[in-house]
Amino acid sequence: MNILALIPARMGSSRFPGKPLAEILGKPMIGHVFKNVASSNLVSKTVVATCDLEIFNYIESIGGEAVMTSNSHERASDRCAEALLILEEKYNIIYDIVVMIQGDEPMVNSKMIYEAILPMLTDKSIKVINLLGKIKDQIEFKNRNCIKVVTDLNDDALYFSREPIPSQSHRSENIIGKQICIIPFKRDFLLEYTKLKPSPLEIAESIDMNRVLEHGFKVRMVKTEYDSQAVDTAEDLKMVENIMSVNFK
């Protein structure tokens, strides 16, 4: 199958402006993400989708590929859909699966990408998948930058929230999970997503996947034992650098 990995990244983050080019262990964060994603044997091509020339030029300077997209996108999924069509026209190819990996996930590795894609290769009914990681402590559980997920008995998402869910009373640790932003879409469903009207809970939570749920589609959650820490703030950057200095030498 033709599998495209897209890494959406922009300089204008409200919580951490310029974060894609913030350095971790002497290298811009987006460089770590690009290298780690491109190491996957399942992925046919890895491309950064951006609206910023600084990011575009950096990726080109390290021998990678980037594509310029509109600066009007509110959601990373919409940016990836635009990049997909640009690349398909450029290379005269139709991709089967598009894997969106957020540009602020420098701890991503090829095994996580494999875990995320595999169910889609064996179950044709799945339209979109998210990795589901473990929440390590109460601080992370209460952190609004950590997107919590509750699932049904079939491992499909019921709801995504920045608030602590489910209820802390009588809760079990094995039902608490967080979204890790390695997200494979079936190609046609990614394009369908962009045609869906932005939904109330998507807007309230600022989470792409709630648009999928509110329009009646399913999001399959795939558990992973690999830890990941997204970089949303300067404090996160320091934490990730400390982790990577030990585990990613």
Residues 64-95 have pLDDT tens digits of: 999 999 999 989 999 999 999 999 999 999 99
- The whole-number pLDDT of residue 172 equals 59
**Residue 59: what pLDDT?**
98
Structure tokens at 98: 């598009």
Percent of the chain at pLDDT exceeding 70? 96
pLDDT mean over 216-237: 94
pLDDT at residue 170, as a whole number = 57
Residue 168 is predicted with a pLDDT of: 74
CA distance linking residue 9 with residue 19, whole number of Å? 9
pLDDT at 46 over 90: yes
Q: Is 144 helix (H, G, I), strand (E, B) or coil?
A: coil
User: Helix or strand or coil: residue 182?
Assistant: strand
| Angle subtended by helix axes 76-91 and 187-195, to nearest 10 | 130
* CATH architecture, range 3-247: Alpha-Beta Complex (3.90)
> Tell me: the pLDDT tens digits for 137-162?
889 999 999 999 999 999 999 999 99
Residues 86, 67 contacting (CB under 8 angstroms): yes
Residues whose CB is less than 8 angstroms from the CB of residue 2 and which lie 6 or more positions away in sequence, other chains included: 44, 93, 94, 95, 96, 97
Q: How far apart are CA 119 and CA 69, in angstroms?
A: 30
- Predicted confidence at residue 215, as pLDDT, reads 98
Residue 67's pLDDT is 98
* Three-class SS state of 63: coil
Give the mean model confidence (pLDDT) for residues 27-41: 97
The Cα–Cα gap between 114 and 46 comes to 14
